Structure 1
Amino acid sequence: MHSPSTPRADIELRELSGARAEDVELLRRFYRECYEVAFPDPDERESLANMESYLKLKEQGWYGANNYHIVIASLGGGIVGGSVCDYLAEPNAGVIEYLLVQPGLRESGLGSRLLAAIERLCRTDAALLERRELDWLVAETEDPYRNAVPAEGFDTFVRARIMAGLGFRIMDFRYVQPALSDQQEPAENLLLIARPVAGKPDAIGADVVLSIVSQYMRWAMRIEHPLRNREFRGMARALTGRRSIGLVEFAEYLGWDTELRTTEVTDVRDPALSEALDVYESAYSDPGTAWPRTAFRSAVQQGPALAAAGFHYHLWALHRPPQGPCDGMVSFVTMPSAGFGGYLAFGPPLRGSGRLRPIIARIEERMIRDNPQARAWFIECATDLNREIFCKAGFFEVDAAYEQPGSADGRRLPLRLHLLYKPFGRTYEPPVIERAVFLEAIAEIYHVVYQLDPETNASFARLTDSLRDCDSVRTWNKRR
C-alpha cells in the first residue's frame, strides 16, 4: 500500500522522442487510454496526428530556441498518466498543455512527479539559452463554474484544488483559447493559471502575459500570426494599458474559507432553521419585500418535491467562527434555466467581514452541482445601497423594467426593484442575455418563487411587452 503523500517509486516516467518507433506507439496508447477519456470536449483536444507531427518537428530542430515535451508515466506495462508541455523562449516560461493522471493513482503523488519532471525539462531549456532560471510555469485548466460537473470522470472543483495544491494561481483576465482547427470552436471555459518558479509575486506583468499567450498560440496551436486571430486581439485589447495582471488564489475564487461554515437546513425541526430565521427577521422588516417565517418553513418542507420537478431550494445557516452559533442566513433556488437568490442576512459577526464573495462562490458551486447546465443567476435588490454592494461583488443590473409581482390575493402590490444578474465565476464585461433566455428565467421565478402563473400575470405581461422589439437584454454596472 502507498499512502497519498508517498510517491510510488515503481512508476516510470519517460520523455518521448519522435525518432523512436516504440515512443510513437506509446503516444498512441496514451492518447486512446488516457487523453481522450480525460478531455471529452473535442474543442479542448489536440489531434493525435498533430502530436506525432510535433515530435517529428522537434527532432528536425523546427522549434529553435523553444521546445516541446511529452512525458508518459507507466506502471507494469500500463499507462497511468502523462503531460505535454511547451518551453517558450521569449517569455521564458513553460506552458503545460495537459497533465493527467488515471483515477486510481490520483492520490499517489504522480501529478507532483509529472509536474517536477516538466519543470526540470523547462529549466534545462532555459539554461541552454544562458538564462539563470526559468521564470514561470503556466497551464490551462477548466473553470469549474463554466464546465458541467461530470456524472462520471474528474470533478472540476476537485481538479481546481489539485492545481491550487501544486502552487498555481489564476491570472485575473478573460482568457479564451482559440480554435485548435477549422473544425473546432474557441474554448471559453478555461482559466489561464501560473506558478512562479521562484518567490510568490502577487501579479505577473501584462507584457509577459501577452508574450506567453502569443508564443503559445504560435508554437503550440500553430497560429502563425496571432495578431490576425480574433481571440488574441480581444485579449490584447483587454490587457492594453495594464502594467500587471493579478494572480488570484483558487481559495478566493472558489470561496474556500475555513473560518466560515454553512449548514444546509432540510428539516423544519432543525434548530438551525429557527436561528437562521431570527437573523433574517432582524434584517428584513418591510412587509412589502419580506417573507413570513411560515413561507420559509413551507419551502423547506416542499424541498424534495421541488427537486423532483427540477427546482432545488436551499436555506443555509451561516456560522463564523465555524463552531459558533448562527450568525447569518441565505436562501436561494436553482431552476432549470438559471439560479435565483432569495434572501441574505448577516448578523454582527459577519457584517463587514469580507465574507460576501466567499458565500457567493459557494452558492454558485451549489447551483452548478444542482444543475450542471446552469451558468448564471438573478437576485432582486430593493435599495440602491444593496445594488452597489452586489455590483461590487460581481453582479450587473439588468436593463429592463422588472417588477416583483404582487400577491395573487392582491394584498401585496407589484414593486419595482433592481434586478441583478451574474454569470458564475468572474465576468469582465457586462453580459448580454438573449431575450428568450431572460424571459424563460423570469417566468420560472414568478412560477416557483412567487407561485404565480406568468402567462396571466400583469407584471410579466408588461415586462414581455417592453422587450417586444429586442433580441437581447443588456446589463450594466454601477460605472455606466
Structure 2
Amino acid sequence: MGFAEVKQHRPSGYGFVLPGGVRVTASADPASPVLRRFFEGYDRAFVLPDEREELDGFEKCLALNATHRHAFGRTHCELVAVLEDETGTLLGGINFLATAIDRAGAPPAAVALNYVYVEEAARGRGLLRQTLSAVRSVALTALDLDPEGPPPAIFIEQNDPLRLTPEEYAEDTAHSGLDQVDRLAIWARVGARVVDFPYVQPALSADQQPDDGLIYAAVDYPGEAVDAGLLHDHLESFFTISVLKGEAEPPGGAASRQIAALTGRTAPVALLPMAPALDWLRMGRGVEGFDSFRDLAREARD
C-alpha cells in the first residue's frame, strides 16, 4: 500500500510513515488534537461559504462514530488526518468517511473524501498519490477489513468551473493559487472520472444552502461504471453522517431525492473521463448550452 510503517495506536487513532518520511496521523476521536491540527490548514484552504465546515461541524461528525458505527446495517468510520514532515511542519490534511459495502462484485468499501488539502509550500512533491494510498489503507483498517485486500472505492466532490459564478471562480482560484481547470487536471491524472449522476451536496448546516456547483467523481474506480447499489449505500451513509451529521433532513430535501433516484436502480452509473472536457476548455471552445462540467464531459467523450 506504499507505507514504510503502519500501526494502530488505539481504537480511534492510527499512525503512518509514507515513503520519503512524511508522517500521517489519523484519528476518529472528536477530542483528539489531530482534529485541531487538521483544522488549522483546512481553515486556510476552504473559503467558499457553502463548501466549508466549522470546527464544531467536524466534532459532530466524529462524535457519530459512537452512535452511527453500524447505521443502516453497514460499518462506518469518520476520520481526520494530518500529514507532517520530520520536523512537525504541517504539509496537508484529510477528512473522510469510510463505509463497508457488502455488494457482490463491488469494492469492499467506499470512501467519501470530504476534504483534502496540501499546504502551498508543500505542493509539487507528489503528495496526492501518497495521500490516496494512505486513505485506502486506513479506511480498510478502520472498518476491520483486510488492508491488503481489494481497495475501496473513493469518491470526491470538486468545484464545477461551469457552475461557479465568476466571483466564486476568481475568489477560490486566487485563494488557492490554483486555477479550477488545472485542479481538475491534477485529479484526472490520478484516475478521477465524473460520476454521471445529477449530484447535489445537501446543506452542511441550517445556515447554508445545498450546493449544486460541484462535480462528483470516482477516483481510479474499477470498470467503466459504478455499481448503482454501491453508490446508493455510499451516498446514504455520506449524507447521513458527513453532511447531515445524524440529523433528519426536511422532507423532499436534496439527500432524500438522490437516494430515491438510486433506490432499486439496477443499471450501473456511467463514469465519464475528464480529459476530453478539459481539452475542450483549454482550447477555448464554447460552453453555451452545457449546464455543467458533467454535461460537457458526456459530449466531449462522444
TM-score class, shorter: 0.7 to 0.9
Whole-angstrom CA distance in 2 between matches of 1:169 and 1:216:
19
Instruction: Give the C-alpha shift of residue 119 in structure 1.
Output: 0.5
Q: TM-score, normalised by structure 1?
A: 0.48
Contact 1:122 1:134 in 2 (8 A): no
Counterpart in the other structure of 2:82 = 72
Counterpart in the other structure of 2:155 = 138
Counterparts of residues 267-346 of structure 1 (less than 5 Å): none
Please, which of 74, 99, 109 is the counterpart of residue 88 of structure 1?
99
Counterpart in the other structure of 1:218 = 240
Instruction: Give the C-alpha shift of residue 133 in structure 1.
Output: 3.4
Please, which of 192, 208, 231 is the counterpart of residue 254 of structure 2?
231
- The alignment-based identity, stated in percent, is 25
Q: Are 2:58 and 1:48 equivalent residues in the alignment? A: no
Q: Give the 3-state SS of the residue equivalent to 1:115 in structure 2.
A: helix
Counterparts of residues 178-197 of structure 1 (less than 5 Å): 178-196=202-220
Instruction: Give the C-alpha shift of residue 185 in structure 1.
Output: 0.6
The root-mean-square deviation of aligned C-alpha atoms, in Å, is 3.1
Contact 2:190 2:220 in 1 (8 A): no
Counterpart in the other structure of 1:30 = 38
**1:130–1:152 CA distance, 2 compared to 1 (3 A):** closer
- Equivalent pairs counted in the alignment come to 259
Which whole-Å deviations, capped at 9, do the CAs of 1:367-397 have from their partners, x for residues lacking one?
7xxxxxxxx63xxxxxxxxxxxxxxxxx3xx
Q: Give the 3-state SS of the residue equivalent to 2:44 in structure 1.
A: helix
Q: TM-score, normalised by structure 2?
A: 0.74
Whole-angstrom CA distance in 2 between matches of 1:49 and 1:184:
15
Whole-angstrom CA distance in 2 between matches of 1:216 and 1:194:
14
Q: Give the 3-state SS of the residue equivalent to 1:179 in structure 2.
A: coil
Counterpart in the other structure of 1:151 = 174
Contact 2:28 2:77 in 1 (8 A): no
Which whole-Å deviations, capped at 9, do the CAs of 1:197-218 have from their partners, x for residues lacking one?
6xx3001122322222111111
Which whole-Å deviations, capped at 9, do the CAs of 1:4-48 have from their partners, x for residues lacking one?
xxx8724321113538x6x42x4324323x212221012111220
Which whole-Å deviations, capped at 9, do the CAs of 1:96-145 have from their partners, x for residues lacking one?
11111012222112222221111101222455499953441111111232
Letter in 2 for 1:35: Y
Please, which of 288, 291, 295 is the counterpart of residue 423 of structure 1?
291
Which whole-Å deviations, capped at 9, do the CAs of 1:313-353 have from their partners, x for residues lacking one?
xxxxxxxxxxxxxxxxxxxxxxxxxxxxxxxxxxxxxxxxx
Residue segments in structure 2 that go unaligned for 5+ positions in a row: 1-17, 103-108, 297-302
Which whole-Å deviations, capped at 9, do the CAs of 1:259-298 have from their partners, x for residues lacking one?
xxxxxxxxxxxxxxxxxxxxxxxxxxxxxxxxxxxxxxxx
Letter in 2 for 1:41: L
Instruction: Give the C-alpha shift of residue 162 in structure 1.
Output: 1.6
Whole-angstrom CA distance in 1 between matches of 2:125 and 2:131:
12
Which whole-Å deviations, capped at 9, do the CAs of 1:168-211 have from their partners, x for residues lacking one?
211012110000111001111111111356xx300112232222
Please, which of 177, 201, 205 is the counterpart of residue 223 of structure 2?
201
Contact 2:194 2:218 in 1 (8 A): yes
Q: Give the 3-state SS of the residue equivalent to 2:157 in structure 1.
A: strand
**1:218–1:125 CA distance, 2 compared to 1 (3 A):** same
Whole-angstrom CA distance in 2 between matches of 1:62 and 1:141:
26
Which whole-Å deviations, capped at 9, do the CAs of 1:73-96 have from their partners, x for residues lacking one?
123233220111111124621111
Contact 1:97 1:139 in 2 (8 A): yes
Whole-angstrom CA distance in 2 between matches of 1:216 and 1:17:
15
Instruction: Write out the 4+ residue segments of structure 1 that deviate beyond 4 Å after TM superposition.
Output: 129-132, 223-227, 236-242
Q: Are 2:231 and 1:363 equivalent residues in the alignment? A: no
Counterpart in the other structure of 2:270 = 246
Whole-angstrom CA distance in 2 between matches of 1:227 and 1:242:
27
Contact 2:111 2:139 in 1 (8 A): yes
Q: Are 2:185 and 1:161 equivalent residues in the alignment? A: yes
Q: Give the 3-state SS of the residue equivalent to 2:293 in structure 1.
A: coil
Contact 2:97 2:114 in 1 (8 A): yes
Counterpart in the other structure of 2:69 = 63
Residue segments in structure 1 that go unaligned for 5+ positions in a row: 1-6, 256-357, 368-375, 378-394, 396-421, 429-480
Please, which of 135, 153, 158 is the counterpart of residue 118 of structure 1?
135
Larger Rg: 1
Counterpart in the other structure of 1:348 = none
Instruction: Give the C-alpha shift of residue 225 in structure 1.
Output: 5.1
